[in-house]
């Protein structure tokens, strides 16, 4: 048991961290607690060697055992490992700030090297096919209208899937501007395209309810709830199904639409700082990781600008 863990989580809440962030810190620190229990190590006696063993423990874990997710998950990637190490480092910093005993300095928790992957974003025509898929792959017309509106909104705005599912009807003004509170409670505007507004209007005409949520389920256990809203898991599952039906070979998810949004804006010459604002990123470095030029664009750039191309 980690002493002062509950106090740490309460401190996060008092400092206006979102409920989701507090939950993530608790979940990740529970993994460290599990490691100490399995290793029979008292928290007060941990040292730098313990931290090294914990990093090895994390890299050997998979998502199922480390964060109690669904079966069949892959081994934890370096970013997930670093998120858990960062949670531990924040906890140690809190202990020092509150004058509680802290067995190792926070800087002793060093992050692991992250792998750099070649960014994969589906070609624009494949993304368009995916966005349009609900119109002809869904047998229920109302479901098709709703799912098409969700995908159009995702790609038009570049918002996160969690932001989309949390949208309320009153967040959209007459110009198609949407004011959202995103990750870390950061607030920003995103904008619908005329095309996305058209499909959203087609969907909203079918709504005969007073539910505030913009996107609601039509089946399942949440249908009877007055505050019902569509789940992220549902949308991810449908995107996977559409992708398989369309035989799109590049891994594509709701997050891929966000990457595609940034990539194709950049290819059209959009200012990186503007893309940063639209995505809600605090750092421009984060934005540049999202902008993955397609192989086709890279080939054309090489041909156009290489000094010995002729």
**Domain annotation for the chain: domains and CATH numbers:** 5-108 (1.10.150.130), 124-305 (1.10.443.10)
Q: What are residue 188's DSSP bridge partners?
A: 180
The pLDDT of residue 87: 95
**pTM > 0.85: yes or no:** no
Task: Please report which confidence band the pLDDT of residue 9 belongs to, taking 50, 70 and 90 as the band edges.
Answer: very high
Least confident range of 93-97, 103-107, 113-117: 113-117
Burial 176-209 (b: 16+ CB within 10 A, else e): bebebebeeeeebebebeeebbebbeebeeeeee
Which residues are within 8 A (CB) of 234 and not within 5 positions of it... i.e. 6 or more apart? 217, 220
Contact status, residue 216 vs residue 143, Cβ threshold 8 Å = no
How far apart, in whole angstroms, are the C-alpha atoms of residue 85 and residue 106? 10
Query: Is residue 290 annotated as a catalytic residue, yes or no?
Result: yes
User: How is residue 40 annotated by DSSP?
Assistant: T
Largest CA distance in the chain: 68
Residues in CB range of 176: below 8 A, 6 or more apart:
191, 192, 193, 194, 196, 197
Q: For 125-142, how does the pLDDT look when each residue is reduced to its tens digit (9 = 90+)?
A: 999 999 999 999 999 999
Distance CA 308, CA 142 (A): 56
> Catalytic pick from 30, 63, 229, 255?
255
Please tell me the distance from the alpha carbon of residue 61 to that of residue 18, in angstroms, as a whole number. Answer: 27
First-residue to last-residue Cα distance in the chain? 68
Categorize the per-residue pLDDT at 301 as very low, low, confident or very high, splitting at 50, 70 and 90. Answer: low
Predicted pLDDT of residue 46: 95
Better-scored residue on pLDDT, 200 or 74? 200
Q: What integer best gives the mean pLDDT of the chain?
A: 86
Closest CA to 59 of 2, 116, 111: 111
What's the rounded Cα separation, in Å, for the pair 233 and 239?
10
Average pLDDT of the residues in 109-115? 81
Q: Which of 50-59, 268-277, 282-291, 298-307 has the highest mean pLDDT?
A: 50-59
Please confirm, yes or no, whether 197 is among the known catalytic residues: no
So what's the pLDDT on residue 243?
93
Give mean pLDDT, residues 11-34.
Answer: 90
Q: How confident is the model at residue 123 (pLDDT cuts 50, 70, 90)?
A: confident
The enclosing H or E element of 113 equals none
Is it the case that residue 71 has pLDDT exceeding 80?
no
Q: Is 234 an annotated catalytic residue?
A: no
- Pick the closest to residue 192 from 227, 145, 150, 162 (CA basis): 150
Burial class (CB in 10 A: 0-12, 13-18, 19+), 222: middle
Q: What is the pLDDT of residue 194?
A: 94
To which residue do tokens 């619908």 refer? Answer: 192
Distance CA 266, CA 275 (A): 8
What is the spatial distance between Cα 237 and Cα 214, in angstroms, rounded to a whole number? 19
pLDDT tops 80 at residue 152: yes
Q: What is the pLDDT of residues 225-283, one digit of tens each?
A: 777 899 999 999 999 999 999 999 888 888 889 888 888 888 887 888 888 889 888 78
Asked if 207 is an active-site residue, the reply is: no
Of the listed 55, 89, 160, 197, which one is catalytic? Answer: 160
* Catalytic residue list contains 183: yes
């Amino acid at each position: 048991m980690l002493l002062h863990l509950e106090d740490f989580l309460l401190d996060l809440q008092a400092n206006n961290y979102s409920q989701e962030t507090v939950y993530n810190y608790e979940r990740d620190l529970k993994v460290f607690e599990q490691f100490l229990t399995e290793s029979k190590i008292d928290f007060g006696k941990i040292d730098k060697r313990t931290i090294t063993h914990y990093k090895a423990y994390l890299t050997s874990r998979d998502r199922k055992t480390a964060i109690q997710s669904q079966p069949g998950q892959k081994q934890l990637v370096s970013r997930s490992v670093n998120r858990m190490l960062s949670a531990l480092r924040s906890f140690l910093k809190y202990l020092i700030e509150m004058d509680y005993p802290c067995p190792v300095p926070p800087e002793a928790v060093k992050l692991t090297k992250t792998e750099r992957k070649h960014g994969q974003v589906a070609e624009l025509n494949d993304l368009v096919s995916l966005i349009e898929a609900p119109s002809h792959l869904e047998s229920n017309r109302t479901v098709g209208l709703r799912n098409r509106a969700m995908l159009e909104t995702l790609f038009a705005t570049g918002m996160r899937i969690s932001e989309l599912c949390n949208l309320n009807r009153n967040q959209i003004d007459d110009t198609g501007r949407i004011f959202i509170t995103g990750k870390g409670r950061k607030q920003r505007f995103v904008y619908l395209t005329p095309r996305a507004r058209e499909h959203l209007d087609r969907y909203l005409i079918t709504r005969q309810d007073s539910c505030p949520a913009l996107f609601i389920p039509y089946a399942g256990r949440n249908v009877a709830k007055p505050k019902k809203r569509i789940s992220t898991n549902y949308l991810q599952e449908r995107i996977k199904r559409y992708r398989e039906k369309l035989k799109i070979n590049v891994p594509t998810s709701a997050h891929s639409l966000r990457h595609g949004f940034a990539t194709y804006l950049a290819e059209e010459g959009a200012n990186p700082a503007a893309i940063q604002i639209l995505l809600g990123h605090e750092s421009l470095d984060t934005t540049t990781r999202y902008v993955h030029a397609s192989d086709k664009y890279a080939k054309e750039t090489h041909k156009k600008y290489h000094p010995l191309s002729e």
